[in-house]
Amino acid sequence: MSDYDEIALAQARVKLTSLAGVTVLEEWQRVSNSATWMLRLRLELLGAEPTAAVPPTTEWELVADFAQDLWGKITVHPALGEQGLAATFHHQMFNGSQHAQLPCRNGHICTSSWLGNLAKSRNAVQLEPPTTIERLCWHVARALQWLTAAARGELIQDGDAFELPDFGIEQQQVSATLIYQEDEDSFAHWQQESSRSGLAWVVPIQARRGYVVTKFLDAKGTQLVHAPKWGKVLSGLNPPQQALWVRLDKMPVVHGWQAPATMQELTQALAAQGLDLQELLAPLWKRLQLSPEVLLLLGAPMPKKVGEAPYRYHWQALQLAPPVAKGSDKSRIALLRQHLLAPHNLRWVKQAENWHAEELQSRGRLPQRLCDARILLLGAGALGSVLAEQLVRMGVRHMTVVDGQVLEGGNLVRHVLGLNHLFDSKALRLADHLNLVNPLAQIVGLPLGLPTTNAEFEKAAAKATLIIDATGEDNVLRMVPMPSMQAHALFVSCSLSLYAQQLFFYAERVGAFEKVQFDRWFEPYRIEQHELAQQIELPRGAGCWHPLTPAPLNRIAGLAGVAVDLLQQVSEESVALPTAVSYDWQVPTLALTVKAAMAL
């Protein structure tokens, strides 16, 4: 922070005094030992009638943090005392206590634009002004609009995206994430379930920074109620610990849209739904298998958008008591039950995330048909490994990887595996890697040379609905079709030219594939590559002289991405087969000098 920032703050203060509905009450105050400044304001309610929760005037702290943003990260918080808003509204953070570091209330209101994050990455127009003075005035103007909407009950409208209450209560939260899996199908299942409470198995991960819910059981702990389908890694984690679960009719909130901060408030929130927490937990204690800590999972139905019917459950966890390893189970449960009857602050697990595929992979998910495919990948080399990683990260769950080679040092320049996988089977280690990049993945590796008649291979081939050959070898093409393969399964050959200048993509049904037809299409490219290979100096392999195939990773990754797009097209069954594509790697050629290009 510089002297210029202080000048900007002073000028912004003067400008704020001229805004209708704004009274500046004090000078800017710097928070000690920080780059944060605060300005006390009184805001007038404009364009709406006052309510019990929104009086005619309220006091606020305008906060500018120059450590988080060079031009100041701006937030607007209710002031401490009777003149500050005490309730929590929609589009507001938890407002039930004082801020942990600042002399104001926790609940800063949403004065930012929903396009803000997109604008930061240059994918939308930046609505928030880029400079300090204009930015401060912009946020205060939006705070006035927020107040009007709050008084009118218009902070949320039908059709808006549904937003959860803020459970991140700074002073008393558990810094971890609850990981669960729910969708419309599981919601329909829950709706048929009569149990309101029961036991659950959760698995702590990453030094208890995460808790994965693996099973919901009934109150006796014997009957399975719901078991999410996790991938190979998460389903194999041990040891699990038991937790308690309670199913609610709606989100537990008090004082408007505030998450309960105390046991009294939680009891109040459940009572508003006609539920008694102690009564719901009573039958569970004698069946609970204690672990050092006890979590309570609270589930509530939620809609996608405001005004719509619920479509899935959301689960939020709280730690009933700090971890304790001493004492008998009987004495610990007795103490825990007494603790729940006494007034105390709640310790919510900070975050809760639904790792269902549609939400977890929403940033870039493949079409459902391709996600559901059972893929047999032949070849785990450079192209095969990059192609497999893209497919699995984007939603493919079932894949068998077949390759008989081990990872060598020379492979590191363009393979997704690393030093810790050297001299191990490419197929096995790639399968391990893929299972780690998608928590829903069930990837298997077979360390087999191709072609093969191995029984495990034939079993995988029989289940495959999509077979991808990434070996670039004619011997593999001669395997197709195998008697064990489904005739209707899709067979795709992907290979690259020298220097990865071209992608060769060929697709046909297994039962209709003929290598003669493939050769007829590929022969001109084969001759072209043959002639090129004789004209260039190829990289040398170790030992007895033999050439290596030159192909840089950037091109391999780019052309693998093109192959994924082509796979999406052929998997939709709207493309006439066979289909064959030769795609050239293309990069624009830059001008020799910047000035010359600009002069044009």
- Confirm if 477 and 551 have CB atoms less than 8 A apart: no
C-alpha 175/C-alpha 211 separation (Å) is 11
Task: Give the count of beta carbons closer than 10 Å to the beta carbon of residue 449.
Answer: 11
**409 phi and psi, to 5 degrees?**
-55, -40
Answer yes or no: CATH 3.40.50.720 is held by domain 368-584: yes
Q: Would you list the domain boundaries of the chain? A: 3-152, 170-359, 368-584
Helices (H) and strands (E) in the chain, counts: 17, 20
DSSP string over 145-189:
HHHHHHHHT-SS-TTSBP-------GGG-EEEEEEE---HHHHHH
Task: Give the count of beta carbons closer than 10 Å to the beta carbon of residue 266.
Answer: 20
For residue 549, the model assigns a pLDDT of 81
For residue 123, the model assigns a pLDDT of 67
Lookup result for tokens 């070849």: 379
- Confirm if 465 and 400 have CB atoms less than 8 A apart: no
Amino acid at residue number 158: D
3-state secondary structure of 584: strand
3-state secondary structure of 494: strand
Q: Which of 530, 472, 526 is nearest to 496 (CA)?
A: 472
Beta bridge partners of 506: 493, 580
For residue 324, the model assigns a pLDDT of 67
Q: Which of 412, 446, 575 is nearest to 505 (CA)?
A: 575
- 433: exposed, middle or buried (C-beta count within 10 Å: 0-12, 13-18, 19+)? buried
Q: Which of 48, 102, 51 is nearest to 75 (CA)?
A: 102
C-alpha 546/C-alpha 86 separation (Å) is 76
C-alpha 404/C-alpha 416 separation (Å) is 17
DSSP string over 262-329:
BHHHHHHHHHTTT--HHHHHGGGTTT----SSEEEEEEEEE-SBTTSPP-EEEEEEEEEE-----S-H
Residue 95 corresponds to which tokens in the numbers above? 């407002």
3-state secondary structure of 505: strand
DSSP string over 319-375:
EEE-----S-HHHHHHHHHHHHHS--B-EEEEEEEE--HHHHTTTS---HHHHT-EE
- Confirm if 245 and 297 have CB atoms less than 8 A apart: yes
Cα angle at 41 between 70 and 76, to 5 degrees?
A: 45
Lookup result for tokens 């050769």: 519
For residue 315, the model assigns a pLDDT of 98
Q: Which of 283, 289, 315 is nearest to 302 (CA)?
A: 315
For residue 306, the model assigns a pLDDT of 97
3-state secondary structure of 136: helix
Cα angle at 264 between 197 and 342, to 5 degrees?
A: 90
Give the single-character DSSP code of 400: E
Mean pLDDT, consecutive 10-residue stretches, the chain (600 aa), reads 88 96 97 95 97 97 95 96 95 94 95 71 76 96 97 96 91 90 97 95 94 96 95 91 97 96 97 97 92 94 97 97 73 88 94 96 94 98 98 98 96 95 98 98 98 95 98 96 96 96 98 97 94 79 62 96 98 93 94 64
